[in-house]
Every structure is written in C-alpha cells, then in structure tokens.
Amino acid sequence: MTSKPVIRVIGSLNIDFVTLTPRVPGPGETIAARSMTVHAGGKGANQACACGKAAFMSRTEQAVKVDIIGAVGADDPYYASLLKPTLEKSGVSTRYVEEIQGVQTGTATILVDEGSNGENRILFVPGANHQINDVGKVLDTATQAGDPDVVVMQGEIPRSITLELLSTFSSDKRKTCVIFNPAPVFEEGIPLSALKNLAVLVVNETECLLLFQTIEELKSIEVPEEQDLTENHLDRLTQHLHDLAAVKTVVVTLGARGVYYSAPISHARGRVPAAKVDRVIDTTAAGDTFVGYFATALARHVADHNVLDDFDVKSAVSRANEAAAKCVQRSGAMESIPFGHE
C-alpha cells in the first residue's frame, strides 16, 4: 500500500444536549434530572470520529485518512469551540465542512434513562444539515483527488441527496465501497433501487424491519411480529436483500445479543455475541462506533486488495463490536468512542 486509505463521511454535524434522568417523565410531568451537558454529536460526525479514532494503531500513527463532508451554522460558537476541535483531535479533517449563514447548527436533545440501563431518547433539529442540497457539489467534494476507498452515509441529511449519492457511488463506474447506515430511516422510505449494488448495509433490528415495511418490493415478504429477530429470520430477510438488490454485505446490530452478518461474496454468515461489560453507562454513539470501526477495517482491506472479495467480515464485526462495548461504558457521544490502540 503506497498511500493511506481514504474514508469520506457524508453526514450530519450536531451539538448534543444530554440530560441524565432517573426515568423519562410522563405527559405533563416534571421531574428532577441528574445533570445536563453539552457534547459534539451528529451521526455523521460521530461516525467520522469513530473512523478517525479506530485508525490510530498507536497514539501517534493513524493508518487511514478521514474527512467529513457536511454543514454547520456560520459563526456558531459551539462549532468553533467544541465540535471542530473534537473532530480534529480524533483524526478527522474538517476542511470540507461548510459554514452557512442564516441557519443554526443541527442539534439533538438526548434523554438518557438511567433507570432503563442507559437507553436513550433523542429529539433532532436538522438545522444546517438539511441545507446540504446540491448533489453535484457534494460529489465533487467527495471525489477530490479521486474516488475515496470508502464513503459512509446515514439518514440525517436530505433524503434526495442521500439516495442520489448512494446510486452514484454504488455504480460500476466507481471504485468506492459505500457503507450505508439508514439511521434514522427516512419517513418516506428507501427505494430498493437506491440499495442496488451497495457494498455494506448496517442496520439495527428496528431499522431492518422498517426496510421490509417501507420498500415496495419487500412489503410482500413476511416478517416476524416479534422485535427479537432470530438467526433464521435474519438469514431469510438478508437473503432477499442480496437477491433483489445485490447488497453485498448486510450487518444487523442486535444490542445485547451481539451482531449478525451476511456476506455471500465472502462466504460469511453468522452472529458474533455481544462483548460482556460490567455496567452500561450510556448507549449514545455505540452504533456509530460500530460503523466507524467497521468502515476503517473495510478501507484498509480495499486499499490493499482493490476489491471487496475475501474481506474478513467476521473479524471486522468482532473488533467493531468490542469497540462499541467500550463506548457504552462511558458517558457522551464522541468522547466515549475509544481509540484503536485501546
């Protein structure tokens, strides 16, 4: 490998207002919370941070170059004093973050329910994230100096831009592997055509079921009513995604039950059990940590081999799973994501 692999994350940048509470209040109820803190966040920024941190094989050596493409409000003091330095300290370049006049930076209000094992509830205000509306501009930025090895995308920037970028980067004309984490799943759904030839789809159980309820071509496929999908269910559901959309790799995170993966191109299918932890503090950014670590492993493989074939999916899933387990034992979003050398 003559140069470092390149990951470009196209997605949201937020300021997170995190409140720790003994329980979530009911309608019309006011209760005393434990604390409120302000953090750098956004699924795009979190995943970029995870990619950057995962790439640090030692305290000084970063094996992958990571850029984030997104937007914030101009002159936002939180971006200058918190979000930007947090990303840069994590090994992420912010040169492609646009500062837009007249809009606010995206925000997320996060309630962490300490009485329910650290589960969270999130209110998201898109702000500048929804000003990313010129697909040509985004594409030009993402392909400066050639196609990146990996592009990572989520569901917190406009749907039309996301779908067009997915189709463009997954075409045969591109050398980029796309990792798509449809979180949150767009209310209008995702057309099957947008997933065509996708390199990696990463979803949790809820998102997996939503895909089969919102994609027209998948609505006729029977899905289980229960929330906990068995491996037999997942084998069947993921096979439809392989057959109908040629999605090369599907990864389904299952929380305390671990991670399921299916990748016919690598002859890999199975489940990695969850890593044991003494205490769950905060699940915020656990999924983003997983995506970032998986993306970094994929970028290093693609840069060395130029193809997705023979990628060790199980090994990448296992390492990403361990990183997510470290994340949930810490408070916050980006600051809870571990470095690769840990």
Q: Which residues are catalytic?
A: 288
286: phi then psi, degrees, rounded to nearest 5: -65, -45
Please report the DSSP string for 181-219 in residue order: ---SPPTT---GGGGTT-SEEEEEHHHHHHHHHHSGGGT
Residues annotated in a binding site? 14-16, 42-46, 156, 204, 253-258, 282, 284, 287-288, 321, 327, 330, 332, 336
Q: Shortest CA distance to 9 belongs to which of 254, 239, 176?
A: 176
- Number of Cβ atoms within 10 Å of the Cβ of 272: 21
Q: Shortest CA distance to 46 belongs to which of 283, 208, 342, 237?
A: 283
- The Cα 6–Cα 28 span in angstroms is 49
Residues annotated in a binding site for substrate? 14-16, 42-46, 156, 288
- 46: burial class by Cβ within 10 Å (0-12, 13-18, 19+)? buried
- Residue 110: partners with Cβ closer than 8 Å, 6 or more residues away: 16, 17, 18, 19, 41, 120, 121, 122, 123, 284
Degrees (nearest 5) of the Cα angle 16, 143, 149?
A: 80
State the Cα torsion 239-243-245-247 to the nearest 10°: 50
3-state class of 178 per DSSP?
strand
